[in-house]
C-alpha cells in the first residue's frame, strides 16, 4: 500500500541550486494518490464547522476545490495580485528577495464565516499568512489551515500557528 509521500516527486536544484523542490503534480496526476490526499483533507475538515474552503494560488486551488466539493462547501480562490476581475483587497508578504501580494474579492467572505485555508505546501508561511490576513480583514474566521506538505525547518507552520490558526499537514520533509 502506497503512502501519500510515495506519490510526491523531489526535484533537486529547482528553482535554485540547493533547493529540493517537492512536486505535488505527480500526486495530482495519480488517481489513487489524489483521492488519498482529498480523502485525508476531507476527513480533517468534515467536522470543522466551516462555511468555505479558501485555496491559495495555484496548487491550493486543485486540492482546496476538491475538498470543498467533497464537503459540500463553497470555494474561495486567494490569487496573486492582478488576477481577479472584481473589486479586491490586497495583502503584501515578503519573499526571499522583495515582496509580492495576494488578493481576495471584497465580497468573497461574509463577516462571521468560518474558513479553512488550504495549500499544497507550507514553507516560510508568508503566502499563508497573507491569505489569513485577507480572510480576517473581511470578517472571516480562519478555523484551520491545511497543507499536503510541510517543510518544518523553514518554520511556516509555526508562523501560521502564531496567528492563532491550527495547522494540519499530511506529510513533512526535512531539508529545503
Q: Return the active site residues.
A: 59, 96
Beta carbons of 10 and 135 less than 8 angstroms apart: no
Q: What is the dihedral of CA 137, 143, 146, 150, to 10 degrees?
A: 80
- Chain centroid offset of residue 141 CA: 16
For the stretch 64-118, pLDDT in tens is 999 999 999 999 999 999 999 999 999 999 877 789 999 999 999 999 999 999 9
The domains found in the chain, sorted by start residue, are 31-172 (3.40.50.2020)
Q: Tell me what the pLDDT averaged over the chain comes to.
A: 96
Put the strands of the sheet holding 88-95 in their side by side order: 88-95, 98-105, 74-80, 52-56, 114-122, 141-150, 167-172
Cβ-proximal residues to 133 (8 Å cutoff; 6+ apart), any chain: 91, 163
Q: Which residue has the cell 526535512?
A: 174
> pTM for the whole thing?
0.96
Amino acid at each position: 500500500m502506497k503512502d501519500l509521500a510515495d506519490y510526491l516527486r523531489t526535484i533537486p536544484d529547482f528553482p535554485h541550486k540547493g533547493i529540493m523542490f517537492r512536486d505535488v503534480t505527480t500526486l495530482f496526476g495519480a488517481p489513487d494518490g489524489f483521492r488519498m490526499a482529498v480523502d485525508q483533507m476531507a476527513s480533517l475538515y468534515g467536522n470543522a464547522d466551516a462555511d468555505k474552503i479558501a485555496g491559495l494560488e495555484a496548487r491550493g486551488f486543485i486540492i482546496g476545490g476538491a475538498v470543498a466539493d467533497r464537503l459540500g462547501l463553497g470555494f474561495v480562490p486567494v490569487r496573486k495580485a492582478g488576477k481577479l476581475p472584481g473589486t479586491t483587497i490586497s495583502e503584501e508578504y515578503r519573499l526571499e528577495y522583495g515582496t509580492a501580494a495576494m488578493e481576495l474579492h471584497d465580497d468573497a467572505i461574509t463577516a462571521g464565516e468560518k474558513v479553512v485555508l488550504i495549500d499544497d505546501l507550507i514553507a516560510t508561511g508568508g503566502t499563508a499568512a497573507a491569505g489569513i490576513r485577507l480572510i480576517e480583514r473581511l470578517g472571516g474566521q480562519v478555523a484551520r489551515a491545511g497543507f499536503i506538505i510541510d517543510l518544518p525547518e523553514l518554520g511556516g507552520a509555526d508562523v501560521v500557528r502564531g496567528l492563532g490558526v491550527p495547522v494540519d499537514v499530511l506529510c513533512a520533509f526535512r531539508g529545503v
